[in-house]
Amino acid sequence: MHPPGPADHLRPDRGKADERETLLDLLAAEPHLVAARPGQTLIGAKNYFGREFEHQLAEQSIRLLRPARKGDPERPGAPLFKPLRQVIESVNETFKGQLDLEQHRGRTPGGALARVMQRILALTAAIWHKDHTGQPLRSLTAYDH
How many structural domains is the chain composed of?
2
Predicted pLDDT at 25: 92
Q: Which of 24, 55, 76 is the last residue of a domain?
A: 76
CA dihedral 101, 102, 103, 106 (to 10 degrees): 80
For 68-85, the pLDDT digits (tens) are 888 888 888 788 887 888
Q: Which of 76, 109, 124 is the last residue of a domain?
A: 76
* Residue 116 CB-density burial (10 A; 0-12 exposed, 13-18 middle, 19+ buried): middle
Both 72 and 90 in one domain: the answer is no
Q: Is the model more confident about 73 or about 1? A: 73
Both 50 and 26 in one domain: the answer is yes
Q: Is the model more confident about 8 or about 68? A: 68
Predicted pLDDT at 1: 38
| Residue 117 confidence (pLDDT) above 60 | yes
Which residues span the domain enclosing 103? 78-145
Both 67 and 100 in one domain: the answer is no
Both 93 and 55 in one domain: the answer is no
| Residue 8 confidence (pLDDT) above 60 | no
Predicted pLDDT at 60: 92
For 125, the 3-state DSSP assignment is: helix
Q: What separation in angstroms does the CA of 144 have from each of 13, 28, 104?
A: 29, 39, 15
Torsion angles phi and psi, residue 122, rounded to 5? -65, -40
Q: Which of 76, 100, 120 is the last residue of a domain?
A: 76
Both 27 and 66 in one domain: the answer is yes
For 90-110, the pLDDT digits (tens) are 877 877 776 666 666 667 878
Predicted pLDDT at 2: 40
Predicted pLDDT at 66: 87
Q: What is the mean pLDDT of residues 108-123?
A: 81
